[in-house]
Amino acid sequence: MSALALLGATARLGQRDVLADVDLTVASGELVIVVGPNGAGKSSVIRALAGLLPLGSGEVRLGGVALSRLSSRERAARISYLPQDGRIAWNLPAVEIAALGAPFLSGPASVARAREALRELAIDHLADRGVAEMSGGERARVLVARALAAPAAALLADEPVAGLDPDAQLLVLDRLKARAGAGQAVLASLHDLDLAARYADRVIVLEQGAVRADAPPLEALTPEVLSSVFALDARWIEGPDGPLLSRRRYSPGSGSGVR
């Protein structure tokens, strides 16, 4: 049974279709990464699974249970959600922000989980510093720590490495991979195709709100998909730490790769 599932999901924002008959699943112990061009529907998929985007048709299921049958509290207890918008309104200490990820635990238990999440992301030395006094990358890691602190069965992360330096990107994805290894169902969206291929158990390619491919990374990100969906002339090269993408843009007017 899948921990997360979208079944025949359609959705609109204003006059625009953002999901078109989407079927996808994420199993416990699996890290699935969603990729696609800007506007392809990555955030919409994640928001739909979190119950934040109403569906026109179809269904969201959490652990085999229809999302519509769960209360807001039950949803929050089952899903940890990291939105793309990284704004923090108040200058609270990092540990208090991270502890918000575990609101149903006692105060000491939530703080303990928050401190452990900050330690995992190598920012435990910032635990008592106000987030307004941090760099943008440090604040972004605090928000990732908030998602990691939640004792939820599923984790949804929308662009979790945006704004991070290369070392921090690898650190965050290492921790997401570890969460999946510990049994959590993890779905993340990324723009970096190299990182998606390196870390994902499966890659889901979205195009205009529809699933174009859903398979292990190199089976999903074939040269044909890279050409037609991303307008790239690209091929995979085996590197020492995983596949690397050799790529170039198609020349204007060449006709190749132009949708």
User: Which domain does 243 fall in, by range?
Assistant: 222-259
Reading the chain (259 residues) residue by residue, the pLDDT tens digits are 689 999 999 999 988 999 999 999 999 999 999 999 999 999 999 999 999 999 999 999 999 999 999 999 999 999 999 999 877 888 999 999 999 999 888 889 999 999 999 999 999 999 999 999 999 999 999 999 999 999 999 999 999 999 899 999 999 999 999 999 999 999 999 999 999 999 999 999 999 999 999 999 999 999 999 999 999 999 999 888 889 999 888 765 555 544 4
How far apart CA 237 and CA 253 sit, in angstroms, is 27
In contact, 33 and 200? CB cutoff 8 Å? yes
State which H helix or E strand residue 220 sits in.
helix 217-220
- The answer to whether residues 158 and 179 belong to one domain is yes
| 202 and 226 belong to one structural domain | no
257 and 188 in a single domain? The answer is: no
- What is this structure's pTM? 0.93
237 and 192 in a common domain = no
- Is the same domain home to 214 and 246? no
Strand arrangement, sheet containing 185-189: 79-82, 154-158, 185-189, 31-35, 202-207, 210-215
* Whether residue 167 sits in one domain with residue 77: yes
Domain count, the chain: 2
Q: Are residues 189 and 241 in the same domain?
A: no
100, 176: one domain: yes
